[in-house]
Amino acid sequence: MGLAHRLTAATATALLLTGGLAGCDLPGTGGSSSSSSSPSGGRKAEGSLGKASFDDVSKPLVKGTFDSPMAQGAKIDIALMGLKAKGQLATLTAQLTPHVPVGDTVRLNAYRLNGEHGLGTSLIDAVNLKRYVVVKDSAGKELQTDEIFTHMTNGQTTPFYFTFAAPPENVKTVDVQIGTWPTFRDVPVQR
């Protein structure tokens, strides 16, 4: 390859990269690269092609503050941000915020906040009289945020995700149980 040909190829590559970084559309990509709402309640990713999106979890569906058995005076805020069904799976997005007296914040995690028990998060379907537990992958690992190894900071929100088999289409709401805390009732299933 001659020097002139390499310079031409390098210039064309630089122009394509500059156009892509500046937010220009290439022919046939079908539109603007700005963020916009998708019909499913998610958001399109900035500059995405196709139907890639993320769940919009800016406002909680329901939240509560509960006592924690971890230490005297310890509390936890639990906010359910959404329960989104897609295909045969449903993902529960939650935010946990610990409020623990200063001397007891060593190794702060959801397992300790729940009295050194697993969270055992589940969905309760009152229509079909079923309880859905977190699904496991092919290696036997539960598809959820790790309750022991996810470090939490006192007073700071930590996102948690739990994946379940999706309830049938006729189920519009479910009850959600997280740990030993009170059940969240009538949480809408977004589709």
- Model pLDDT for residues 90-123, shown as the tens digit of each residue: 999 999 999 999 876 678 999 999 999 999 999 9
pTM above 0.85, yes or no: no
Burial of 178 (0-12, 13-18, 19+ CB in 10 A): buried
For residues 172 and 16, which has the higher predicted lDDT (pLDDT)?
A: 172
- To the nearest whole percent, how much of the chain has pLDDT over 70? 69
User: What's the confidence (pLDDT) of residue 118?
Assistant: 95
The predicted pLDDT at position 107 comes to 84
Element (H, E) at 44: strand 42-44
Work out the number of other CB atoms within 10 angstroms of the CB of residue 45: 15
Q: Which residue has the higher pLDDT, 20 or 170?
A: 170
